Amino acid sequence: MARMKFLCDAERCIECNACVTACKNEHEVPWGVNRRRVVTINDGKPGERSLSVACMHCSDAPCMAVCPVDCFFYTEQGVVLHNKDLCIGCGYCFYACPFGAPQYPQVGNFGSRGKMDKCTFCAGGAADAGSDEEFKKYGRNRLAEGKLPLCAEMCSTKALLAGDGDQVSNIYRERVVARGFGSGAWGWSKAYPGGGS
Amino acid sequence: MPARSWRTVTFMLCFSIVSAISAHAEDNTLRGHGGPVKSVVISPDGKTALTGSFDYSMIHWRLGEGAPEVVGRIADHDGAVNSVKFVPGTDWAITASDDGTVAVWDLPSGRLVHRFKGHTHKVVHVAVSNDGKWAASAAWDRTARLWDLTNLTAGPLLKGHVNTVNSVVFSRDGKFVYSAGYGGEIRQWRVEDGELERVVYKHGWGINVLAAIGDGRRLLFGALDGTVGVVDLSTGQPGQKLHKFERPVLSLTVSAKNDVAAAGSGDGLIYVWDIDRWLPKYRHQFADGPVWALAISSDAKGMYFGGLDDHVAYWQMDPDRPFEVAQSDVPRRFQKSEGLGPGERQFARKCSICHSLGEDHANRAGPSLIGLFGRKVGTVPGYIYSKTLKNADFVWNEKTIDQLFAEGPEHFVPGSKMPLQKMSKAHERLALIKFLKRATNVAPTDETKSGG
């Protein structure tokens, strides 16, 4: 079984935000929630780099460790999903995620706890694959349709890679060899300790 | 990390020792909350403590000989209480809540002194200046705010963080306030006018917690990447990285005498350092979840810590008695899923964190469900209801409970304290209702029937 992983090659990301737009559109993510975002460091200065960041679907996900109601789970492909029926919107996972993945919509009366929302690796969620319920709660289940996450599929420079960890790792390794350097796989060692290049 | 410097290395391996909990350790456990505890502070004289919890309440404790006593419980927030502090020079306490407010309380009377409004998202941390004149709050609306505690008016808005603000601390002289958050920067603001003085330090990874060291020259920070570091305020340089946890740092504390500091992490590790030389002093592995709240006892010999449990545990550090820490009941009531019927499982996983089935509310965020069927909404004695439920006019029965979870509380009873909780599957709602009918089957009293 493939182990799904993301990798963003900072040497290739051009900050076009197509991945962000694709994600919003594909999953009809509500206003105020960004499952994916592009972060630019040293903006306008030498050494400027951009990165597309979302849930990295960590091998040993820290969000799981702090969730009071154990709403997170792994799929067989290593995707970290959560059950919105169980989530109590406490916000604890935000303090645990190095990638700022958990998002909390402002809903209902002030102070009410909205269900956490995050990137699903386009793998749906805790509902029947392809059902209306799944789409409404979690977004489209592209993996069940045999497709990869749309953010990576859309990436014109192929900075953002998604798929089986071994293949993603091989692609990146080939790039590093070809260009002679490779410092751009930000977050890879944090998300997949011992499991990446 | 030199092994010889550890005075204690604790592992949760020996359950037979764990079970031999001494009366001493039990005596210091703070039992009274009805949900995970997010904040604990000890008064400067060491005689009292405050705790804030997911159960929407703050508890004021009396410490000393024997078991801690609850002096008062204040449950007048509409959301979790994330942070609590004493106000120096007064009998006041201050709380920051998920409901977006910062509230000042008179501890002897339990009376609300003032509720500061202005944040537009959950308020996650509050700090008070050493002279007790100012409070500062950190919120997920990407701002920090100052509050004038003398005139009980809003002070300057500290705007500039590009993401959530997680923590605030005052400088020793009260002239500046420091803030940090997911953006990974520590910012220094002038209290006088709220102007940004400078960005003190950029860590890169998000910063969860800040703590001031009493000399006024250094700040401690704890970050998402597991770093605990000390920042020299004169240079803005990280003078020392104390430790790199495997998991994010969730809590920090400094002792009253400024001689000991401690940090707690997402995987339950607590590290304690001697501030003079920044040598590690103690280490404790709490096996049952994250450490959200930490406070060192006034004699610096013990540590109070809270996490996902209803209680705040006490670990005696000196002399070390690590196995005497009160144990968690794992899996906790809201984590159970094995061996339960479908309705009971729904209740355990979705309801029990906020509701009890017992005769009392068990200090949980919501009222007890005992006698639920046939009870007029908003009428359980002793529970502080929202205006919505106080004014609502219907009775809880199979139909209304089904509606509640089919539509969601935000539609069925908009304005109530109940968080979003829908059950879209009819068979799940039916199972829950069946279980609740059985588990809450106590005839309502005349008082609740008539709306008392």
**Which of the pair, B287 or B295, is modelled with greater confidence?**
B295
Contacts of A96 in chain B (CB under 8 A): 224, 247-248, 250, 266, 290
Predicted complex ipTM: 0.85
Find, in chain B, the residue whose alpha carbon is nearest to that of A41. B204
pLDDT at A197: 40
CB distance B200 to B233 below 8 Å: yes
CA dist., res. B114 & res. A191, Å (int)? 44
Point out the residue among A96, A112, A114 whose CB comes nearest to the CB of B248: A96
Q: Which of B281, B333, B286 is nearest to B305 (CA)?
A: B286
Point out the residue among B98, B208, B266 whose CB comes nearest to the CB of A113: B98
Check pLDDT > 50 for residue B12: no
Kind and range of the H or E run holding A52: strand A49-53
Same fold, B3-324 and B342-449: no
Could you read off the pLDDT of B137-149 as tens digits, one per residue?
A: 999 999 999 999 9
Check if A39 contacts B (Cβ < 8 Å): no
pLDDT at B6: 32
Could you read off the pLDDT of A29-51 as tens digits, one per residue?
A: 988 789 999 999 888 888 899 99
Could you read off the pLDDT of B214-230 as tens digits, one per residue?
A: 888 899 999 999 999 99
Contacts of A100 in chain B (CB under 8 A): 163, 182, 206
pLDDT at A110: 44
- Band the pLDDT of A104: cuts 50, 70, 90: confident
CA dist., res. B228 & res. B358, Å (int)? 42
SS3 A28: coil
Q: Which of B443, B417, B446 is nearest to B97 (CA)?
A: B417
Please tell me whether the overall predicted TM-score, pTM, comes out greater than 0.80 for this model.
Answer: yes
SS3 A64: helix
We find that the CATH architecture of domain A4-191 is 2-Layer Sandwich (3.30)
CB distance B107 to B72 below 8 Å: yes
- Band the pLDDT of B169: cuts 50, 70, 90: very high
Contacts of A113 in chain B (CB under 8 A): 79, 98, 419-420
pLDDT at B439: 94
Check pLDDT > 60 for residue B16: no
Output the DSSP codes for A132-168: HHHHHHH--BTGGGT---HHHHH-TT--EEEEEHHHH
- In the chain, the amino acid numbered A82 is H
Burial status of residue B223 (CB atoms within 10 A of its CB: 0-12, 13-18, 19 or more): buried
Rounded (10°) angle between helices B398-407 and B426-439: 140
Check if A190 contacts B (Cβ < 8 Å): yes
Domain B3-324 is classified in which CATH homologous superfamily?
Answer: YVTN repeat-like/Quinoprotein amine dehydrogenase (2.130.10.10)
Cβ-defined contact of B422 to A88 (cutoff 8 Å): no
CB distance B182 to B206 below 8 Å: yes
Check pLDDT > 50 for residue B437: yes
CA dist., res. B213 & res. B257, Å (int)? 10
Task: Give chain B as a 3 state SS string.
Answer: CCHHHCCCCCCCCCHHHHHCCCHHHHHHCEECCCCCEEEEEECCCCCEEEEEECCCCEEEEECCCCCCEEEEEECCCCCCEEEEEECCCCCEEEEEECCCCEEEEECCCCEEEEEECCCCCCEEEEEECCCCCEEEEEECCCEEEEEECCCCEEEEEEECCCCCEEEEEECCCCCEEEEEECCCEEEEEECCCCCEEEEEEECCCCEEEEEECCCCCEEEEEECCCEEEEEECCCCEEEEEEEECCCCEEEEEECCCCCEEEEEECCCEEEEEECCCCEEEEEEECCCCCCCEEEECCCCCEEEEECCCCEEEEEECCCCEHHHCCCCCCCCCCCCCCCCCHHHHHHHHHHCCCCCCCCCCCCCCCCCCCCCCCCECCCCCCCCCCHHHHHCCCECCHHHHHHHHHHCHHHHCCCCCCCCCCCCCHHHHHHHHHHHHHHCCCCCCHHHHCCC
Could you read off the pLDDT of B389-413 as tens digits, one per residue?
A: 999 999 999 999 999 999 988 889 9
- Indicate the DSSP class of residue A16: -
Q: Which of B66, B69, B64, B65 is nearest to B31 (CA)?
A: B69
CA dist., res. B135 & res. B123, Å (int)? 13
Check pLDDT > 50 for residue B23: no
CA dist., res. B22 & res. B283, Å (int)? 20
Strand B58-62 to B143-148 pairing: unpaired
CA dist., res. A19 & res. A177, Å (int)? 26
CB distance A81 to A126 below 8 Å: yes
Cβ-defined contact of A100 to B350 (cutoff 8 Å): no
Contacts of A73 in chain B (CB under 8 A): none
Percent of chain B clearing pLDDT 70 (strictly above): 92
Q: Select from B53, B76, B98 the residue whose CB has the most chain A CBs within 10 Å, as the one to mutate to test that interface.
A: B98
Domain boundaries, chain A: 4-191
Cβ-defined contact of A68 to B423 (cutoff 8 Å): no
Contacts of B351 in chain A (CB under 8 A): none
Contacts of B36 in chain A (CB under 8 A): 68, 90
Could you read off the pLDDT of A105-131 as tens digits, one per residue?
A: 765 544 455 789 999 999 999 999 999
pLDDT at A182: 64
Check pLDDT > 50 for residue B48: yes
CA dist., res. A159 & res. B180, Å (int)? 31
Contacts of B166 in chain A (CB under 8 A): 95
Check pLDDT > 50 for residue B309: yes
Check if A86 contacts B (Cβ < 8 Å): yes
Instruction: Specify the length of chain B in residues.
Output: 452
Domain boundaries, chain B: 3-324, 342-449
- Band the pLDDT of B25: cuts 50, 70, 90: very low
Alpha carbons within 13 angstroms on the beta-carbon side of residue B49 total 30
CA dist., res. B120 & res. B408, Å (int)? 23
Strand B143-148 to B153-159 pairing: antiparallel
Tokens of B228: 């605990």
CATH of domain B342-449: 1.10.760.10
CB distance B180 to B162 below 8 Å: no
Query: Taking all residues of chain B, what is their mean pLDDT, rounded to a whole number?
Result: 88
Burial status of residue B291 (CB atoms within 10 A of its CB: 0-12, 13-18, 19 or more): buried
Q: Which of A12, A53, A50, A61 is nearest to A34 (CA)?
A: A53
- Band the pLDDT of B338: cuts 50, 70, 90: confident
Cβ-defined contact of B335 to A114 (cutoff 8 Å): no
Cβ-defined contact of B410 to A98 (cutoff 8 Å): no
